[in-house]
Structure 1
């Protein structure tokens, strides 16, 4: 059944629009079912100048009419349904704000179109892409910016984007792989460049099939991410790192990574103000996935912080870097974050000191701690909590408990495992993993009898539950012989 408006010229397929059409309350069902015999604009109720133009063929285009210097102007905001109702509202609000500030949004659009009509250089395309990534909230845009400026713009920045051929990019990749010996950097650069040209095709600047990366294959084998240290290698690392010539802060940072399962970047950016010494909790203000993460600091981690405090004086960054120490070991100048290679280079350059056969990186220390916990508890979900990995489950949306008590148990177990390993008199007497499990698990972990953490007024429920659940094993339950 069709509905007619008051002028009997416009047909509607919905009763939502059956009344007099001076203005409508815009909803998805109303917009979706709008029909007309001739082109007509329907205005949004309550929003001046905001409407949708409907053609006889069913094409729907969002429009915004406004006045600049007493002159009426029109701005197209995109077609429905590609531009949904919520997105049209957002574009309208942005344009209206510019008009109120005296800026004509259509002029800015013309400039952008003119820039697109002219063939862009690689440098201009990269700048547009990075600006789009920044405004869309992409976290890695700074990393991409650094890589693209170094390896792409420096070589091909002045070239037009349509003149770039696969051989031009292959030359850059080959140089990174063979001369610089950095295959992983070539892989990252390849993915960034491919995204840039895909972005250009999305903006209508070139055809997607003309992306020069489509005809390039790097043939680089991915590195296996399964390296972790055995108990004997942990022993060699712990005492070997003391023999390497490096600043004490770097030495403590490497050990701290093993004890907390934290990432290198998280350790380098760690601040004294992020630590609650009463609760022994380190709250990470920024995490890779954006989720709240609180790490319980076990005894050995607290001892390391005590030693590091002698150098950084308990202010600013915990593991800061200046390279300037006085004779007594106190840093003279203001602290700066450690460089991202500071933790890797000492291990790489002085690897022979450890007397370990297979090379390892600082990130492998995080994997080592996680592997120990997985072997002790046999619970991958607990390891995910300690690593702050996202659980791809709908329950994760509802479960906002931080599992501080459970993570405290895990960190204490890791502390005991490390102590049993490094307290061995020599490498031959380092306990096996089975011995570690037998020594650590029975008393503390299985029964889960640790005292809950005190309630944090700032975090409230996130710190701990008000009524912690007590768990009992089957042999703790009373026999059911009295049950009839």
Structure 2
């Protein structure tokens, strides 16, 4: 007897699952938990098989009969309905993994596993968010250059040229990753290189005049804000590392006996460990900070949050409060200050200065050789530089540096 909706609704669960037959091999399987599942029993190439069609009441009786009929039509054409359903399931799974959203997320997670810095990961996620509304749902192999260009032009029209540059670069990395993993054939973002206006490079403001450097150092000495910020400010000109490397300094990295600061590769822009020789003045600043923050992880913890470092804008904000404008000095400007004055001194080799700044050597063979070179010179340079800063702070008459190299 054929099933009816009334009979289906009246079916109660039993201790064991049981079947309610309809016709043509279609039946309803009632489970002990109360589930009601449509199944089709059929034979293909002489072998009995079963095909799951759906659940009642999401799939009505009429819909189940239509699905059973469609399966039989497919079977009459020589196709096994169960095999076809498995293929569809695999296709859906693959399709979910080949959208731009899926592949770009996979790329970001790969970057995290490779130990890229938190700041880099944040930038990758930021660029990804720009692209998701436009192409996130699209199979990555089908994305066309004009789809990406629309996003970049939107950014360009708002004057966000650097954002457009970073967005295109991120997209290109994702497409190259998709090509490498056999999910795309080409990188459409590569075709857009130069398609939008390039951002004009801006030199970060830095004080390089000797007299003005003295003014800055005296202002730091007189800074009356948070003591952690003051120590970060005081140390910045002596070690001239990148602002992020400074504010995230941890006590485990400081070796007072060896007078070095060993910054791990994970925090370095160039992804290689950087060792900073510490002058007597630098050690004194670290020692003063240790009296107040040694019980925590960070040398310069955020105010009231020992488990977090200073925020990235803290030093710059302090410079503004001290009266140094954005076009005069930035937190990054301490590096330019040291680079300029050290080079002008004529006392130190450019290689030693570049190593102190942790700049990448474009010649890879030379870079390997120079990795451990110039250490003695860097140690001497660190002490000379701190002594020179003391001289500038005291406001002594500064004679022009000799041009002769050391």
Q: Distance in 2 between matches of 1:415 and 1:381?
A: 19
TM-aligned CA deviation for residue 250 of structure 1:
2.3
> What displacement does 1:381 show?
1.3
| Correspondence for 2:351 | 381
Higher fraction of helix? 2
> Separation in 2 of the partners of 1:155 and 1:241?
48
Paired residues for 1:174-189 under 5 Å: 176=155, 183-189=161-167
1:309 & 1:178 partners in 2: Cα distance?
50
* Cα displacement (A) at 1:387: 2.0
* Aligned partner of residue 332 in structure 2, secondary structure: helix
Q: Which has the larger radius of gyration?
A: 2
TM-score (norm 1): 0.54
Q: Secondary structure at the match of 1:283?
A: strand
The answer (yes or no) to whether the contact 1:289–1:390 under 8 Å persists in 2 is: yes
Within 2, Cα distance between the matches of 1:407 and 1:343?
A: 26
1:327 corresponds in structure 2 to none
Paired with 1:119 and 1:395, the residues of 2 have a C-alpha distance of 42
Aligned equivalent of 1:431: 398
Check if 1:128 corresponds to 2:98: no
Flag structure 2 segments of 5+ consecutive residues without an equivalent: 1-88
The 8 Å contact of residues 270 and 317 in structure 1, kept in 2 or not, is answered as yes
The answer to whether residue 363 in structure 2 is matched with residue 363 in structure 1 is: no
Who is 1:219 aligned against?
197
Q: Distance in 2 between matches of 1:370 and 1:112?
A: 58
Other-structure match for 1:19: none
> Aligned in 2, Cα 1:387/1:120: closer, same or farther, shift over 3 Å?
same
SS in structure 2 opposite 1:262? coil
The yes-or-no answer on 1:235 pairing with 2:214 is yes
**In structure 1, what is the equivalent of residue 26 of structure 2?**
none
CA contact 1:265–1:340 (8 Å) conserved in 2: yes
Structure 2: how far apart are the matches of 1:239 and 1:385? 28
Aligned: 1:284 with 2:263: yes
Structure 1 pair 418–154 and aligned structure 2 pair: CA distance change class (3 A): farther
1:114 deviation in Å? Answer: 7.0
Separation in 2 of the partners of 1:292 and 1:280? 16
Deviations 1:408-459 (CA, angstroms, capped at 9, x unpaired): 21011101211111111xxxx662543xx69xx9xxx96xxxxxxxxxxxxx
Q: CA deviation at 1:244?
A: 6.8
**Are the equivalent residues in 1 in contact too, given 2:179–2:185 (CA < 8 A)?**
yes
Deviation of 1:173 after TM superposition, in Å, equals 4.1
Aligned residue number for residue 420 of structure 1: 391
1: distance between equivalents of 2:317 and 2:152?
24
C-alpha displacement at 1:126, in angstroms? 0.9
TM-score by length of 2: 0.63
Matched, 1:248 2:227: yes
CA contact (8 A) 1:317 1:337 kept: yes
The corresponding residue for 1:409 is 380
Distance 2:175 2:113 in 1: 19
Q: 1:311 aligns with which of 287, 292, 296?
A: 292
Q: Distance in 2 between the 1:243 and 1:284 partners?
A: 29
Question: Post-superposition shift, 1:135?
Answer: 5.5
Note the 1:64-79 alignment, pairs <5 A.
none
1:298 to 279, 297, 305: 279
Structure 1 residue aligned with 2:55: none
State the 1:259 CA deviation.
Answer: 0.5
Superposed CA RMSD in Å reads: 3.9
Larger relative contact order (CA 8 Å, sep ≥ 6): 2
Is the contact between residue 231 and residue 285 of structure 2 (CA under 8 Å) also seen in structure 1?
A: yes
Given that residues 237 and 335 in structure 2 are in contact (C-alpha distance below 8 angstroms), is that contact kept between their aligned partners in structure 1?
yes
Distance 2:155 2:284 in 1: 42
Q: Structure 1: give runs of 5+ residues left out of the alignment.
A: 1-110, 325-332, 447-484
Please say if residues 272 and 314 of structure 1, whose CA atoms lie closer than 8 Å, have aligned partners that are also in contact. Answer: no
Match 1:192 to one of 156, 170, 173: 170
Query: Whole-Å Cα distance in 2 between the matches of residues 205 and 374 of structure 1?
Result: 50
Determine the C-alpha separation between the residues in 1 that align with 2:112 and 2:287.
39
Q: Which residue of 1 aligns with 2:136?
A: 157
How far 1:380 moved relative to its partner? Answer: 0.5
CA contact (8 A) 2:127 2:166 kept: no
Describe the superposition over 1:369-422 as per-residue Cα deviations: whole angstroms up to 9, x where unpaired. Answer: 122222222511111232233443636545664644322210111012111111
Kept in 2: contact 1:170–1:216 (CA 8 A) = no
Instruction: Report the alpha carbon displacement of residue 225 of structure 1 after superposing the two structures with TM.
Output: 4.1
